[in-house]
A and B are shown apart, each in its own frame.
Chain A
Amino acid sequence: SQELEQSPQSLIVQEGKNLTINCTSSKTLYGLYWYKQKYGEGLIFLMMLQKGGEEKSHEKITAKLDEKKQQSSLHITASQPSHAGIYLCGAVGGSNYKLTFGKGTLLTVNP
């Protein structure tokens, strides 16, 4: 089964700082999905990356997919308290209907 490893597990940054979260897959990536979860709530879809080298942005969040490295990175520029939460990467492996998630990265942004 496909495994996704996220790093770091948690991150504390000062407001205004940039940060990067990584997601590495144990198998070939055919698509990589980023979600955000606020404490006590469900997940919100951020973006999907399907092609090697693809880069997408959502407000101040940018994600890239490196197919060769089986890795995706999510970069937040000029972080704000509203960016705080758990970021999870997901991938589809073996079946188009089974979305597997990493364990998540807990982001805290101090004002």
Chain B
Amino acid sequence: NAGVTQTPKFQVLKTGQSMTLQCAQDMNHEYMSWYRQDPGMGLRLIHYSVGAGITDQGEVPNGYNVSRSTTEDFPLRLLSAAPSQTSVYFCASSYRQITNTGELFFGEGSRLTVL
């Protein structure tokens, strides 16, 4: 069972470069989301999607773009990377509304360093 798969696991960028973090899930989950985790800040929601074609902003959306063209995939794009975006990024998914079960399935994370 693959679950939630994130790629790449590690990435080093230079300031101003662009890149896409990939996230795929094989559980037919409607809900997908991206979090970033920083020391002392905890997990913060960047963007989320409740289905194909539907996305919305979380707490810290600036500097990130998302799209949801299929149920399975939810890529996170950094258009012009900044050192402040150095972080560990987690993709998570769930069947429907979180309040139903509370269970988000997380990927293993993508560690991004922006120099």
Contacts and interface: CB of A to CB of B under 8 A. Distances in A.
The answer on A and B forming one complex is yes
Interface of A: 1, 30-31, 33, 35, 40-45, 47-48, 50, 88, 90, 92, 96-104
Interface string B34-55: 0100001111110010100000
B90 interface: yes
A43 B99 contact: no
Contacts of B109: 40-42
Interface in B73-115: 90, 92, 97-99, 101-109
Given A88-B43, A100-B59, 17 more contacts: A33-B102, A35-B104, A41-B109, A42-B106, A42-B107, A43-B90, A43-B106, A92-B98, A97-B33, A97-B48, A98-B59, A99-B33, A99-B45, A99-B98, A100-B45, A102-B42, A103-B40
Given A42-B108, A43-B90, A98-B48, A92 B99 contact: yes
B56 to A, nearest CB: 7
Nearest to A48: B102
A48 B102 CA distance: 6
Contacts, number: 67
13 contacts: A31-B99, A31-B102, A42-B90, A43-B43, A45-B102, A45-B103, A92-B98, A96-B99, A97-B56, A98-B48, A101-B42, A101-B43, A103-B41
Interface residues of B, number: 29
B112 to A, nearest CB: 14
